Chain A
Amino acid sequence: MGANFESKYLMNKFFSKKISIISFILIPIIFLWHPNWLGFLGVQPYWPLFWLLPWSMINGSINGLIFGLFLGLILDSLTLDDSLTQIPGLIFCGFLFGRIKLYSDNLVGHFRYGLICSFGSLLCGTLYFLQILLRNFSNSNSLMLMASVKNILAEVFLTGLFAPFICSQLLRMFKFSRRKLQ
């Protein structure tokens, strides 16, 4: 009984300490899972931003930039487009998010996460779209433009919708694990 309790306690301690790493590992899995019932017009929210925002807010711009790069590298390896990359958008977002101060008012903070993540998603989407445009410069037409604008807008909407729930929870957990570590 005692041993069981102790192992449970140790496991809880481990999870609370490593929550940031565990959630980081989960991002590519959710990215691959691509649950349709969470989508809008077949588009998903931009999952990596939900993790990157709280991480960068707590650990600063440089950390955000580095982990933006890491996330970009992992997600690029999961997608098949060799010549297109998500790294610039995520690096930029990581750096920008790191400059944002933690807000004291919780309610405003929750909504602020939505707005920031929407902006980040717009930035990443636009950078990705520009790469597609540059690559298919000769073949590009209005149909491609329309599909891309639809993708960007749906992604911005969904990311902004989910961010207040997910980011605030992750931020709370990251803060908690950090406090325990200190």
Chain B
Amino acid sequence: MLGIRRISTTRWWHKKKNWLFFAIFLFLVFVRLSKGSFYKDIYYFISKPFWPGQFQKEIVLESIDQEYLIKLNLLRKDNLRLRRILSLQESSNNEKISAAVISRKTGSWWRQIILNKGSKDGVEIGNIVTGPGGLLGRVKDTSLFTSSVTLITSPESKLGVWVDRIQINGLLVGLGDDYPSLILYSKDADIKVGDFVSSSPASTLLPPNIPIGIVQSIDETLKSKKTAKISLLAKPHVIDWVQILKVNI
């Protein structure tokens, strides 16, 4: 009896210390296999309060914004000067009217928004409406206090646009969904996904160089024309404030 007890206490697995060493060994194996990710994650949380804060990020972003703004202004002035020299149409420099969207129909048959500025505020039929990102549509109707805008996604909308990379004019036609169709009347046009589309300098409805969208996909080439789906830069279903541009074309 005594002999049995002695044997059982001398087995290695009955010693706590051995198990401890085994656990440490397993942990080290885990650390090795995970290439220290455990430590890195711990370090992530420990060092978090000492990171370069949001404040620094804001300063950097603000500086970048200012730089872009200055560049944009310089380019705009250049553009204006060159257009004057070439006697081309000028972008509208007239007043802009800020307006809020008070009614929005962007997902059904009717693709329109109603704004809280009307003829009382100087809005006229044919004025251009832009939002963050670019062109949204044209004012189709005004009342004393409101104006109704036909969106470029509406089947009623047909606009002349410009594909800058291949220097070609096209027609942007609303289809009643979120992606209007770009029609290029040349089957050899080398349009690619990602091409930028803006308002055409030749358009009689829009001032030139208003950003519109990006080519999302290219459809099959028909007999004499090429069509592409355009993803709009300005999203009419989320924009609450817009700018109405008074156009002098």
Contact = CB atoms under 8 A, between A and B. Distances in A.
Contacts of A36: 104, 237
Q: Lowest 10 A-B CB distances belong to which pairs? A: A42-B107, A147-B177, A32-B103, A147-B176, A79-B110, A80-B140, A144-B175, A43-B108, A80-B112, A80-B150
A143 interface: yes
A141 B227 contact: yes
Interface of A: 32-34, 36, 39, 41-44, 79-82, 84, 125, 128, 132, 135-136, 139, 141, 143-144, 146-148, 150-151, 155
Given A34-B103, A39-B107, A155-B108, 14 more contacts: A32-B114, A34-B104, A79-B110, A79-B112, A80-B140, A81-B109, A81-B156, A132-B109, A132-B155, A132-B176, A139-B173, A139-B183, A141-B175, A143-B229
A136 B155 CA distance: 8
Contacts of B154: 80-81
Nearest to B178: A42
A151 B156 contact: no
Given A141-B181, A147-B177, A151-B176, A128 B106 contact: no
Contacts of A139: 173, 183
Nearest to A155: B108
A43 B106 CA distance: 8
Residue from B141, B177, B181 having most chain A Cβ neighbours under 10 A: B177
A89 to B, nearest CB: 11
21 contacts: A32-B114, A34-B103, A41-B107, A42-B106, A42-B107, A42-B237, A44-B107, A79-B110, A80-B141, A80-B150, A81-B110, A125-B109, A128-B109, A132-B155, A132-B176, A135-B155, A136-B155, A143-B179, A148-B176, A150-B177, A151-B108
Query: Size class of B's contact patch?
Result: 20 to 34
Contacts of B140: 80
A155 B176 CA distance: 14
Interface in B163-214: 173, 175-177, 179, 181, 183
Interface of B: 103-110, 112, 114, 140-141, 148, 150, 154-156, 173, 175-177, 179, 181, 183, 219, 227, 229, 237
A32 B106 CA distance: 11
Nearest to A143: B175
A146 B176 CA distance: 10
Nearest to A144: B175
Given A33-B103, A42-B106, A80 B175 contact: no
A39 B106 CA distance: 11
Contacts of A151: 108-109, 176
Nearest to B139: A80
Contacts of B155: 81, 132, 135-136, 144
A135 B177 CA distance: 17
A44 B108 contact: yes
A139 to B, nearest CB: 6
Nearest to B180: A143
B107 A43 contact: yes
A78 to B, nearest CB: 8
A143 B150 CA distance: 20
A34 B105 contact: yes
B88 to A, nearest CB: 30
